[in-house]
């Protein structure tokens, strides 16, 4: 979570109106979509802006390449996996440059190693360590549109390194930081950030603006519109990020949401949005002898096995025994259970229970800092519908509850109304 962008060269003086335009997989899904992207870039450039384009692989390509690697070896060497998988963005960068040149726009592709965009050695899920802005700025200075292959860089070993799923968003923000761009536009298949998932809550409303912190919390608790790391990087580097649809008409003023600093938002809302995550597994340990050091005895081996523990609740049972319930991501569930089975002798618990029939629902908003009663609205709204809260966790601008999965839609619609988020 700590992509650093150290400017290894001093960027040339900042030009007015430099914009990074990032296009996701569906936005470049076929040759017609690529032509549409080229026209959109041309239109933006015709306003006088300097443009850098960042592209993902064409939709479906990355999945096919990953499947080929895994078919040969489920534990494929991550450096070779990276060489294979990064080819998807390489192809798109070349094709978009060709489409732009066809329109008379001077463009050229840049692979990660050509910029260079330097990463650490964690192949397959590398962190960005530095983006050199020199080559891109030189391209801009001669009127070119650089088309950067997202998701990829070059590691300290001189080999191609990929940033992990969703990494192209992070590439775009890192490039924007390196050239001190005025804005980073993330083109995707939705027209902005919504108060919640419109497929579940039909009265969801598009937000014109949202703060970095809220976006970061929403992304981390399940909202899929932006990749968490890219938001964190944008917040640290103060890059204004706009999320918008590549399927809307160019120039559509209704298109898009802006992710900005809190002081750029005049009419603040208490709650920005509601997110949910089904990627949850609940584990309960029952009848644990209630003695000092017992929590450490439970969590130390789990952490050693790289299991990420999210929400925790402890409850008192009968006979001086205690119960402990916590959640992990579904991919960690099997590991966690096997670790706890192995520690049965040490912990001396009675019973181990687990379930995936749970959902985590989170309410996020910077207004929580100044407004009391936010949590109470949540608890009473859910209680009125007879929905039992199994675990609760909070942060400064977020409240999350774990509930039975069958109440997901009911709970989200009720909370959306209770917090006054419904569209008029």
Nearest to 191 by CA among 241, 147, 255, 148: 255
- 379: DSSP letter: H
Contact flag: residue 105 with a copy of itself (CB under 8 A): no
Q: What is the footprint of a copy of itself within residues 351-380 (CB under 8 A)?
A: none
Contact flag: residue 59 with a copy of itself (CB under 8 A): no
Contact flag: residue 84 with a copy of itself (CB under 8 A): yes
Binds a copy of itself by CB under 8 A, chosen from 11, 12, 79, 284: 79
Binds a copy of itself by CB under 8 A, chosen from 10, 13, 104, 158: 158
Q: What is the footprint of a copy of itself within residues 268-297 (CB under 8 A)?
A: none
Nearest to 21 by CA among 132, 100, 81: 100
Contact window for a copy of itself (CB under 8 A) among 73-81, 290-298, 373-381, 415-423 = 73-81
Strand 281-289 relative to strand 160-162, pairing? unpaired
Least distance to a copy of itself, CB of residue 57, Å: 10
Nearest to 20 by CA among 126, 115, 140: 140
Q: Which is nearer to a copy of itself, 158 or 293 (CB)?
A: 158
What span, in angstroms and rounded, lies between the C-alpha atoms of 277 and 360? 5
What span, in angstroms and rounded, lies between the C-alpha atoms of 113 and 90? 11
Q: Which is nearer to a copy of itself, 67 or 423 (CB)?
A: 67
Contact flag: residue 95 with a copy of itself (CB under 8 A): yes
What span, in angstroms and rounded, lies between the C-alpha atoms of 229 and 225? 12
Contact flag: residue 66 with a copy of itself (CB under 8 A): no
Q: Which is nearer to a copy of itself, 152 or 228 (CB)?
A: 152
- 206: DSSP letter: B
Nearest to 151 by CA among 90, 213, 100: 90
Half-sphere exposure of 16 (CA within 13 A, CB side): 2
Strand 321-328 relative to strand 398-404, pairing? unpaired
What span, in angstroms and rounded, lies between the C-alpha atoms of 331 and 420? 35
Contact flag: residue 68 with a copy of itself (CB under 8 A): yes
Contact flag: residue 39 with a copy of itself (CB under 8 A): no
Binds a copy of itself by CB under 8 A, chosen from 23, 81, 151, 276: 81
Contact flag: residue 111 with a copy of itself (CB under 8 A): yes
Binds a copy of itself by CB under 8 A, chosen from 35, 203, 206, 236: 35
Least distance to a copy of itself, CB of residue 4, Å: 25
Q: What is the DSSP string of 1-41?
A: -------SSPPPPPPS-EEEEEE-TGGGSSHHHHHHHHHHH
Least distance to a copy of itself, CB of residue 406, Å: 41
Contact flag: residue 56 with a copy of itself (CB under 8 A): no
Q: Which is nearer to a copy of itself, 8 or 80 (CB)?
A: 80
How many binding residues for a copy of itself (CB under 8 A)? 37
What span, in angstroms and rounded, lies between the C-alpha atoms of 118 and 379? 47
Q: Which is nearer to a copy of itself, 77 or 262 (CB)?
A: 77
What span, in angstroms and rounded, lies between the C-alpha atoms of 55 and 89? 7
Q: Residues interacting with a copy of itself, by CB under 8 A? A: 31, 34-35, 65, 68-69, 71-73, 76-77, 79-84, 86-87, 90-91, 93-95, 97-99, 101-102, 108-109, 111, 113-114, 158-160
């Amino acid at each position: 979570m700590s992509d650093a962008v150290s400017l290894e060269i001093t960027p040339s003086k900042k030009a007015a109106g430099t914009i990074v335009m990032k296009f996701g997989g569906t936005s470049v899904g076929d040759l017609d979509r690529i032509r549409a992207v080229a026209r959109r870039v041309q239109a933006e450039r015709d306003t006088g802006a300097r443009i850098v384009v960042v592209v993902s692989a064409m939709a479906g390509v990355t999945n096919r390449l990953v499947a080929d690697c895994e078919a040969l070896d489920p534990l494929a060497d991550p450096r070779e996996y990276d060489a294979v998988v990064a080819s998807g963005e390489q192809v798109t960068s070349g094709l978009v440059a060709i489409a732009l040149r066809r329109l008379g726009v001077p463009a050229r592709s840049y692979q990660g190693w050509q910029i260079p965009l330097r990463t650490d050695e964690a192949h397959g899920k590398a962190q960005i360590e530095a983006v050199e802005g020199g080559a891109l700025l030189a391209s801009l200075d001669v009127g070119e549109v650089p088309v950067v292959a997202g998701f990829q860089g070059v590691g300290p070993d001189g080999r191609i390194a990929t940033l992990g799923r969703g990494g192209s968003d992070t590439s775009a923000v890192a490039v924007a930081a390196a050239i001190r761009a005025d804005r980073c536009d993330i083109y995707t298949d939705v027209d902005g950030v919504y108060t919640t998932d419109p497929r579940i809550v039909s009265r969801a409303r598009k937000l014109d603006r949202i703060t970095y912190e809220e976006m970061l919390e929403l992304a981390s608790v399940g909202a899929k519109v932006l990749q968490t790391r890219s938001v964190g990087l944008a917040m640290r580097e103060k890059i204004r990020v706009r999320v918008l649809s590549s399927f809307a008409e160019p120039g559509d003023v209704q298109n898009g949401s802006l992710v900005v600093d809190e002081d750029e938002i005049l009419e603040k809302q208490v709650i920005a949005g509601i997110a949910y995550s089904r990627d949850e597994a609940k584990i309960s340990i029952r009848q644990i002898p209630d003695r000092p050091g017992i929590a450490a005895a439970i969590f130390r081996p789990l952490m050693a096995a790289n299991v990420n523990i999210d929400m925790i609740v402890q409850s008192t049972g009968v006979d001086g025994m205690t119960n402990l319930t916590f959640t992990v991501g579904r991919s960690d569930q099997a590991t966690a259970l096997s670790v706890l089975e192995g520690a049965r002798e040490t912990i001396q618990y009675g019973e181990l229970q687990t379930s995936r029939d749970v959902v985590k629902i989170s309410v996020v908003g910077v207004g929580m800092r100044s407004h009391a009663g936010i949590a109470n609205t949540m608890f009473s709204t859910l209680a009125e519908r007879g929905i039992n809260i199994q675990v609760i966790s909070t942060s400064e601008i977020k409240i999350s509850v774990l509930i039975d999965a069958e109440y997901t839609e009911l709970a989200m619609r009720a909370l959306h109304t209770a917090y006054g988020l419904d569209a008029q």
